[in-house]
Amino acid sequence: QKEVEQNSGPLSVPEGAIASLNCTYSDRVSQSFFWYRQYSGKSPELIMSIYSNGDKEDGRFTAQLNKASQYVSLLIRDSQPSDSATYLCAVMMGGYSTLTFGKGTMLLVSP
């Protein structure tokens, strides 16, 4: 069964620190990878997408992809209390717009 694995957390970091969130996936042929953020009681929202090996930066967020190791990560620099949320890793495995989601990592940023 094709899977996406994440540590459930919570991952606790102090304000201003770097938060590192990790994700592994089982389908070697996957080509598209995403990070969604979900605040408590809200729906997921897309924050990053990455399609090629290496790093992709967007403001305080950096997504990293290593297809050989089947590993995706998200770095959040200068973490803020407003970053406290569950971060969902998603992988396009089934084609079209079908995503397989990990169960998410809860991030807690303390002031």
Residues that bind another protein (CB under 8 A): 32-34, 36, 42-46, 49, 88, 90-92, 94-104
Measured from the CB atom, the residue of 14 and 59 that comes closer to another protein is: 59
Measured from the CB atom, the residue of 79 and 88 that comes closer to another protein is: 88
CB of 81 to another protein, least distance (A): 23
Measured from the CB atom, the residue of 17 and 24 that comes closer to another protein is: 24
CB of 96 to another protein, least distance (A): 5
Core vs surface per residue 57-95: b (16+ CB within 10 A) or e? eeeebbbbbeeeebebbbbbeebeeebbbbbbbbbbbee
DSSP letter (8 states) at residue 82: G
State both tokens at 47.
Answer: 């924050």
